Chain A
Amino acid sequence: MYKGGRIIASLVFVVALLSLPFFYNMGKGNKGPVINLNTSAILQLADKQCVEPTEWMRANHMKLLLQWREEAVRMGKTEYINSQGKSFKISLQTCLHCHYDPALNTSDQFCVSCHNYTAVKPNCWSCHTWPKEAGK
């Protein structure tokens, strides 16, 4: 092979370079986000369920929030009756009432830690407020 040694050396180098991120992240991944479900409001709940069953919320919370927004802002329907007939006020503050933990930093709050982990950047908080920011 013409200049075989160099070709093989370069190939090895390129493969090593491309796999660098893999080695760099080895053992670090898959720790998962730290999700805090121990706020005082959640601990007091007899039936520890979000507005809908957890599995469903995990997959569909973003769709539900978008629909909440349409119904509340455009239709004036600010009450949500869930699949079990329980009613909730449509507001991000309803979510925060359970999921916000005043003892934690913003970056460790329920929704932020998971969105950071999955690199999702919702822009809710550019207008809606954390309880902590209020009154400042």
Chain B
Amino acid sequence: MSLNRRRFLRKAGMVTALGLGGTFVITGLRGKVEASEYETPQQGLVAKRWAMVVDMSKFKTKEDYNRVIEACHSVHNVPGLGNPKDEIKWIWNEDYEHAFTSQNNRYMKESVKNHPFIVLCNHCENPPCVRACPTEATFQRPDGIVDMDFHRCIGCRFCMAACPYGARSFNFRDPRPFIKEINPDFPTRTLGVVEKCNFCVERLEKGLMPACVEKSKGGLIFGDLDDPRSEVRKIVSSQYTIRRKPELGTQPSVYYLVGGGDLV
């Protein structure tokens, strides 16, 4: 039996249609998602705008700083690489001159000038890192937290260039061997991914305060800036606080209380 061109094409077309129809039926049946739902956990802490106040009068000894840094870095599997070039940091010490670059006068009180400040991602209201990220790996949640979806980060580091606070670190090396004790409830990162503080979203959803706040003995105060009855709001509206580089218009959510005690 010989097929002419026309008959061959017709048959081929029929077979293709059958095949496509068949896969549609099969995937249509199998891919049907059952009636399921996704919900936010009930015990979670919620806010309109999360913010933090750093009460500098509570940070006196080296221990006061290291305790909060260690609390954060251990729950979030932050590696200790041991050299400043590759260093990964979510929360760390910075001297006044570098933390508050534009509020620096030559004859400033020595105790302020030489006193380290605790710094972290400011969870800016207008976050330049979010605008820079091409994959939306860095995004802003409705509660103001600037979070990262590590799955999406392609390591372009645009966000690092965009952040005026140096709040982001890049994994130049595989971090896993440098983590003292891995916490299985939080992922580690891989080579080529950016990371930073996430205001402990994974703890807030369980109804817990951020790890650093919990260990700060009152030095870090966390709450909803939008709520007039919250402690952070009361401090910010009744005492003198400063923020890092406010002139840039990023509207940081981390406030520094500098008149709180006798030290600064």
Q: Is A127 an interface residue (CB 8 A)?
A: yes
Which one of A60, A76, A87, A127 contacts B189 once the chains associate, using CB atoms below 8 Å?
A: A127
Q: Which residue of A lies closest to B185 (CB)?
A: A93
Q: How many A-B residue pairs have CB under 8 A?
A: 75
What is the CB-to-nearest-CB distance from A102 to chain B, in angstroms, rounded to a whole number?
Answer: 13
* Interchain CA distance A81-B40 in the complex, whole Å: 11
Q: Is B183 an interface residue (CB 8 A)?
A: yes
Q: Is B201 an interface residue (CB 8 A)?
A: yes
* Interchain CA distance A23-B177 in the complex, whole Å: 44
Which one of B35, B39, B149, B185 contacts A77 once the chains associate, using CB atoms below 8 Å?
A: B39
| Secondary structure type dominating chain B contacts | loop
Chain B residue contacts of A126, Cβ below 8 A: 190
Is there an interface contact between B35 and A78, defined as CB atoms closer than 8 Å? Answer: no
Interface residues on A, range: 20 to 34
- Which of A5-13, A28-36, A103-111, A128-136 lies on the face that meets chain B? A128-136
Which one of A74, A76, A136 contacts B40 once the chains associate, using CB atoms below 8 Å?
A: A76
* Interchain CA distance A131-B185 in the complex, whole Å: 9
Q: Is B38 an interface residue (CB 8 A)?
A: yes
* Interchain CA distance A90-B205 in the complex, whole Å: 12
Chain B residue contacts of A75, Cβ below 8 A: 38
Q: List 11 A-B contacts (CB under 8 A).
A: A60-B31, A63-B31, A71-B38, A76-B205, A78-B205, A79-B38, A79-B39, A126-B190, A134-B183, A134-B184, A136-B181
* Chain B interfacial positions (CB closer than 8 Å to A): 30-31, 33-41, 44, 139, 141, 147, 149-151, 181-185, 187-190, 201, 205
